[in-house]
Structure 1
Amino acid sequence: MRLVSRRVVAVLASGALATFAFAAPASASGYGADDAGGAAINIVADTVSAAQEVTGSWSAERMRQAVPMEQLVSESGDVISLGEVVGSLTGGDPVSIPATKRLDLGSGLGGVLGSASGEPWTGGGEVASTAGRVFFTVDGQDASCSGNAVTSENNSTVITAGHCVRMGGEWHDDWVFVPGYDNGDAPYGEWPAETTMATQEWVESEDINYDVGAAVVHEQDGQSLTEVVGGQGIAFNQERGQPMYSFGYPAASPYDGSELIHCSGDTFDDPLFSDAMGMDCDMTGGSSGGPWFLDFDEQSGTGLQSSVNSFGYAFLPGTMFGPYFGDEAQEVYERASTF
């Protein structure tokens, strides 16, 4: 992994502290900035044949063998000591966009119930199909994260963490989203990315405060992603400190990436090095990019996505942090939604 700059943060959603050197901005080749929306964009597979090649390469066994993205970071030779997390979030008016139902699913009723810290999700509902594993290659090595389908104008948008689309100054290759992943099975198909995106702040300096990414995936058999799996609602610039649910596919011990895991409870501001939000949660590497929901309804499995699993500190075990979805995250979502 090519790492050049020496700015440092604590990252990633691993259940332990990983520190890495920030990458300097890439050259003009490799990504482009959207002047209107402020998102950095990468073309992954822009033709049907290229998309088919990506999905055809990800067998069930290859998916099982993919390692958490965080493991590749910790194995690089560029791990150094913890430094200051820099950057400040800009705020705007609160925005919330409701969920999109999949074609064969009716509405549900229910309420937020109980709390959990790293338990299998057995509640079913919409989240069992919108949340999924993300697979990609980093310098030729197979890796995994998590992601979630959200309502969008193009019905093809996945939200994940910034480091799940780009890391160390390079965009990830062979990127595919597998909603409802179940121990190698892809019950809703494999959805290769046409484009991946991240906040401009993440691309330029890998500032953990802006660890937000997105993908626009190809249609499959004439259907778009949210027609098949549904799309969760999404919200920006919301009040902090609210109870939330988080979901993901942790693949580092004691988990193996085979099933959807969830946490729930009150959230709090990171008291240490970032502007992120925290939650009591035991999920490990591979859960990065999984969704955090406000107003989550356990019976219907729907909510308003307002963050993603991002990072943890070794000296603060059992705690997950996620970036605050402010204007910068909204810019990425809006650009992806209309791509």
Structure 2
Amino acid sequence: MTTNTTARFSGDGVITFQDVAMGPVRAGEVRLRVEVCALCGSDKRLLASGSPVVPGHEIAGVVVDAADSTGTAAGTRAIVYIPVYCGQCGQCRRGQTNRCLDLGELIGWQRDGGFATYVDVPAQCVIPVPDDVPLDVAVLGLDTVGTAAHGLRLALRTQSEPPQSAIVVGCGPLGLGVIAVAQALGIPEIHAYDPNAGRLALALELGAKEASDLESHNQYDIAVEVSGAGQARALAQRVIVPGGAVLALGESNDPYTMPATPRWRRTDCFTVRSFYFPLDEVDGNWEVLRRCGAFLRDKLAHPLTLAELPEAFDTFVAGVHLKPFIVTGAAS
């Protein structure tokens, strides 16, 4: 019998821990020892509202047990793909697993996630990690690089010619991931804006230039909005060139609106919204991580233990740490 220590979010910022006895691994599933579970901005919603399941959806770990039918070997180093896709619908058959028409669960949202010692996940959600990629880098291949890369790839498909310029509005972990991916995809001129001087400094260190003109129209082929704030959305819509693409990656509870101005009404423009990434993009994401993953980890991550999860959220919400990692100490 395996004892699992799990974090429970009861709402209003309260986190408690429970030790739970785990039974045998269910058919079609794999048990991982969690080595890294990174905090995500969306987890703040569960911290405030509470959750019926164990949160944590940016997970890297090592397989310790698996149902016989999965063919997954113990010792496999892996990251966890959070959409529990059906594998049968038209989208899944085309490889677009993030667009599953029968998507009922996300790991860490509708079923137990990684703020725990162990987590059981469907075998189809286990992504083996290449030997040359440390787990504390691999975990960035989920939200930080995976989501960024997929969104940018969609935005690039709207353009008849390779874009020459892009602006990233919001330089948190996902925004920095966008900058790294944009460089890997060959966009030559990348500017960044963030009202937080520390975050902006990291963007410049990564290779972006500071956006000096936030008012003029028709500046950028691609405008990536990563914060979800109304002013940031308005900025992205203002600076895009006719025919360009606004990539809306930021999340908030506010409705997404478009300006009712003569200039906006007379502008051809693509607005792109994306969710996560399909499994057929994973190999390309590893290549991006090999180029910039260690830098992103060293600049973003702040390692803490599972027992320190309440402290991790305190510093995360306060903006002291960009991306706390809950680690076991063996994340390699």
Instruction: Compute the TM-score of the two structures, normalised by the length of structure 1.
Output: 0.26
Greater Cα radius of gyration, structure 1 or 2: 2
Bigger helix fraction: 2
More strand by share: 1
Q: Which has the higher contact order (CA 8 A, sep 6+)?
A: 1
